[in-house]
Structure formats: structure tokens, C-alpha cells
Structure 1
Amino acid sequence: MARVLYLGGLGRSGTTLVERLLGELPSVCALGEVVHLWQRDILDNERCGCGSRFTGCTFWKRVGDKAFGGWANVDVQRVHALRDLVERTRHIPRLAAGHMAMDQVKEYANFYAKVYAAAAEVSGAKVVVDSSKHSALAHVLRWADDVDLRVVHVVRDARGVAYSWTKTIARPETDGEEEMTRYSPGRSALLWNAHNAAFGLLARRGVPVRRVRYEEFLTDPRAALIHLAEFAGLTLQPADLDFLKTGHADLRVGHSAAGNPMRFTVGRLPLRRDDAWVNKLPPAQRRLVGAVCAPMLRAYGYPLQQKEA
């Protein structure tokens, strides 16, 4: 049974950063956002975190051979059809209650379980990390027979998330031809509420969930990684964290299937909070997001009033 550390939360909350640092730990294999593997990698042949096209990456070729006898044997259209049937935010209440067509839920989850198990075997890792983020997928994976699911719920101040979603960011894996999705502050605030609430529901259904605040993670990444390793069932030695330096981390090449452009970073990665929103998110938008998200901001310990830096 594959032990999976699933990183969940709304995009732009810091999950890629958490994933990259977790991927430096021994016995951990970080896979990126596996939810996008079927389209962006198998069909579109985008770039792996190592820089190679998916078909040219030795790691992913071995995973495909082990999981399916080769990626050509994956019925991607079936994966997409199952996704549309079961992996939707609106289905979360029924997924949580088990009131879905569970044969379809388990069939869809099995595609992921095969990838996780193969990646663990190919890499020799005890834990694989999937930073797909999607709350609905986490609820689907709860029903997988061959997955030991442990969820890291990554939370960031909703106003910082809202500002990040307004920025124009190129997708390097498309060689600059495409940009990452953008949302208005109002839209991102609604999504922030919905996805974070869904992970709270997952915890109430008995799935092990550990909440991590992005801001606290960057304040003391060493302590945060030790706690997450314990949550994943791993015991670290002091030398295992030698890649963490004062103000930065030294990263090796990874094999992320998809995700934030940070997944391509090799070498020095600065470890500093991105609080640009405090000065750059217009006051009206800051107030809007703060009002929409106020109850959960309070619950997560964020101040409702934020002074400009």
C-alpha cells in the first residue's frame, strides 16, 4: 500500500514550496500535481520538473511501465470521463457521505493508486508526495483501497492568495506559449472558502489531516519539516536537513509532473514570505476578500486588519 502525503489547499498558497522541500528528505519522492498528469504529460507531453519532455524522462517512463505496462496503455479518455463524474467540488458532500457511484469513485482512484505505488517502487521511497491541491480529489482518494492517505492542508492568508491570482505568470513547461490561470479577488475569495472548508470536512471524516500555515512554515521551515516528516511516519536525522541554509534551500533536480514554475528551480531557492499583497492589493479588494473570508481567517488565526508595510 502506497503511503501518500497529499498537499491540499487553494492554488497560490505555497504548496509547491512545501512539496519541493519535502522532496529533499530521504525516503520521500515528490511527484508534483498528479491530477494534471493525464492531460499535460501523457497527452500534451509537457516538461517534467527535470526539464525533459515527459516522454524523455527516464523516471516517468519507468513509472508508466511499472504501473500500466507503458503510458500508451492508459485510457486517458476514461480517466477524464471518470473525473467529470466524480471529481467535482459540488460532489464533495456526497463523496464525504459515500453517496456516489462508488464503483466509479474507486475506479478513478485506482488510476492514482497505481501511479503512487509505481513511483514508490521506482524511487525506493517510503512516502510519495502529491501536490494536486484539489479538495475533491482528496475526498476521492479517501476511498482508494491501496492508498495510505495523509493530507497536509496548506493555508495562506486569503488576501495574499487573492493578490497572487491576479498576477500574470508564464508556464515554462509550454515554452512561454501559455500563462497560468488568473482569478478576480472576489472569485478567489469564494474558492478559498470552499476548498479550505472541504479539507476541514475531510478531517471530520477520519482522514489524518495536518494544517500548515504558509507564513508559519517559512518562519521556521526546519521545525515545520520535522513535524511533517513525523506526520508522514518518518524519522529524520539532523543531517537530513542540511539542504536548509539561512534564508534559502539548496534543491536537487526533481521530477514534478506539473505545478508552479518553482518546480523547475535547481540550486538556491530563497525562503522568504511573499507579502507584496499588503501594499499592492488595492484597499477595496483587500476589504472585499477580508469580508468574504472573515470567519475562516479568524479560525486560522489571521488578523482581519492588516497594516501596510
Structure 2
Amino acid sequence: MSVRPQPTRVVFLGGLGRSGTTLLERLLGELPGCVALGEVVHLWARGVLADEACGCGEPFGACPFWLKVGDRAFGGWSAERAERVLELRRRVDRTRRIPGLARLLAEERAGAGVWRSPTVTEELGEYAVAYRRLYEAAAEVADSPVVVDSSKHASLAFCLAAAGVDVHVVHVVRDPRAVAYSWRRRVARPEDGVPMTVWSPARTSLHWLTQNLGLELLAREGVPVTRIRYEDLLGSPARTLRRLAAGLGVRPSLGFLGDGEAELSVAHTASGNPMRFTVGRIGLTRDDGWRTGAPPRQRSLVTALTWPLMLKYDYPWRLS
């Protein structure tokens, strides 16, 4: 008698980069029944086309895990498929399309099933199917019913939800002044040594607002969304992970956590923060260098631009 595989559950980590999503993904990937995939939104360009390194250190095209995933999902990876997904992303997975995707979700919930552009609907369906097939194949290869995608973009979360993917969003937030300070740092990508993007405090504030408000709207449309603050994750890792595990229906086996540290195993993450390559013991301490390192004028500007949402997330106006 054959055993039916468990349905795949997708945990989507949303928020703005430099908010702790890669750390949270690595910690969730240590839970039984969870597998971390990295930023899947970038897999098509950086993995399939550019053959950048997997989190295990092997080139994407030579990683046994991703070779199996590609075979089961698509009969093998191909440049043509990756380019098609990237084309669809440019057409349907954009921040400016969030209001339309929100209307689609509302209409689906109401049973209206009405969408003004059949072409967009077909393209959205094709786009989401590529992700669904990838998620299901990764869950099967890893023998884990829960896959963790740290793509972050609110627009992708909307696309998945609007197309009927079983997705649970974990909304990761961090004090916007800390995020802005981090985006000012010059960090080289370990894959090629190229400096990562640097943003001004004003631009970071705009993106912080846009992504967080997008995820707030997603929650209003009935999609399961759990908010986690970076500061709470680092302040109490075990409590935060137990809370998440309970919501995701996985066993909170936290033997990899120690006193202010964690032990990380190899992860097959396709893209993301340089921390995805880290294996072994890491410290779990808050990075609060922005409190003394960020110029007061920069902190004041970010506060002035983001204060309504900042206060909603319990970040104080003035630093103690």
C-alpha cells in the first residue's frame, strides 16, 4: 500500500532585506520537517542562468540537491524556462501590481472570480505554477513537508496567494533606523566579490514602508501572516522559534540552540545574504551598531519618514 505524500506548506519570509530574514530562515531550516531554499525569486537568474554557488558551496548546476529538484519539477533545469519565469516576473510580480493582486484576492474570497485582464490571470497562473512545482519537488527531495522561501518581496507573496498556493507568510520587521544603517554599508557578495547594493536613508525608508505596508495589506486580505521582530528573535530565539513552530505545525526541536548561539548545518540555499554559507556555531546577538554608528541626522530623517509604522511595530521615537 503506497503512502500519500504530505501536502507541501510554503513558509514565505517577507520584509525588507537587512531585517534578519536570512538568519531566521537558517534557524527555521534546522527544525524537523523544514527545508530552507534561500531567495527563490533569484534562483532563476543567479542559480539557473549564472550558476552561482548554492549554500552548500557547490555551483548551482552541480549541487545534487538542486539537480534532483530540477529533474522532479521540470525534467531538468533549462535556460529557456528560467528566462520565461523572469519574463513573467517582469509582467506580474511587481510592487506596483499589489493593489490589483489585492483586488483579485478579495474577489476570490467573495466568490466573484472576476478579473479584468485574462492575459494577466493566465500569466500569473503560469508564474505561480513554476514556484509550486519547485516547492513540491524540493519538499519531496528533502523529505520535508515545509519549505522556507526567504524571497522577501511582498509582490511575490501576493502572486502566490492570488494563484492559490498554500502559503504562510512570516513578516519580519526591524527598526527602520537599523535597516537604513545596514543598507549604507558596503558589503561584497562572496559569490563574485561585487559590492552589494547601497541605498540612501531616504530610499531605504521608502522601501521599508512599501514592503511592510504590502504585507499588512496581504494580512487584511485573509492570507495567514505572522509578524516577527528582529529584536525579539535575537532577544529570545527559543521563544520566538517555538511560537513559529506552533503556528506552522512542526515539532519545536531546538537542540541546535545554545546559550546565545546556534549550530547550523549545511543548507541548500539558492541565493541570499552571505550568511547562507555559514556552517557551524554562530552567535545570536543583536547588531545594534547603528545606535552609535548612524549619524543623528540620518536617524532623524528615517524616523520622520517612517514614524507611523515604526510606532505600530513598537519602536520608540527616541532612543534610550
CA contact (8 A) 2:31 2:251 kept: no
- Specify the SS of the correspondent of 2:83: helix
Give the match for residue 57 of structure 1: 63
Q: In structure 1, what is the Cα distance between the partners aligned to 2:79 and 2:304?
A: 49
2:195 corresponds, among 179, 192, 208, to 179
Please say if residues 45 and 55 of structure 1, whose CA atoms lie closer than 8 Å, have aligned partners that are also in contact: yes
| Residue 110 (1) aligns with residue 129 (2) | yes
Structure 2 counterpart of 1:210: 226
Cα distance per residue 1:138-161 (max 9 Å; x no partner): 00000233x310000000000000
1:12 aligns with 2:18: yes
SS at match of 1:75: helix
RMSD: 1.1
Contact 2:174 2:231 in 1 (8 A): yes
CA distance 1:217–1:78, change in 2 (3 Å): same
Listed as ranges, the matches of 1:29-108 within 5 Å are: 29-72=35-78, 75-98=81-104, 99=115, 101-108=120-127
The runs of at least 4 consecutive aligned structure 1 residues that moved more than 3 Å come to: none
Aligned partners of 1:234, 1:24: CA distance in 2, in Å? 11
- Gap change, CA 1:216 and 1:158, over 3 Å in 2: same
**Larger displacement relative to structure 2 (44-53 or 227-236):** 227-236
Show the counterpart of 2:110.
Answer: none
Unaligned runs of 5+ in 2: 1-6, 105-114
Structure 2 Cα separation of the partners of residues 143 and 290 of structure 1? 33
Matches within 5 A, 1:1-309: 1-72=7-78, 75-98=81-104, 99=115, 101-145=120-164, 147-174=165-192, 176=193, 178-236=194-252, 240-307=253-320
Unaligned runs of 5+ in 1: none
Q: CA deviation at 1:2?
A: 2.1
Matches of 1:173 and 1:112 in 2, distance apart? Answer: 24
Kindly provide the amino acid, as one letter, of the partner of residue 160 in structure 1. A
**Using the alignment, how far apart are the partners of 1:259 and 1:279 within structure 2?**
27
Give the distance between the partners of 2:102 and 2:125, measured in 1 at CA: 14
Partner SS for 2:186: coil
Deviation at 1:53, TM superposition (A): 0.5
Contact 1:68–1:74, Cα closer than 8 Å, also in 2 = no
In the TM superposition, residue 126 of structure 1 has moved relative to its aligned partner by 1.3
Amino acid at match of 1:158: P
Compare 99-108 and 51-60 and name the one that shifted more. 99-108
Percent same amino acid at aligned positions?
54
What is the SS of the residue equivalent to 2:66? Answer: helix
Q: Report the TM-score, using the length of structure 1 for normalisation.
A: 0.95
Query: What is the aligned residue count?
Result: 301
Give 2:256's aligned amino acid: F
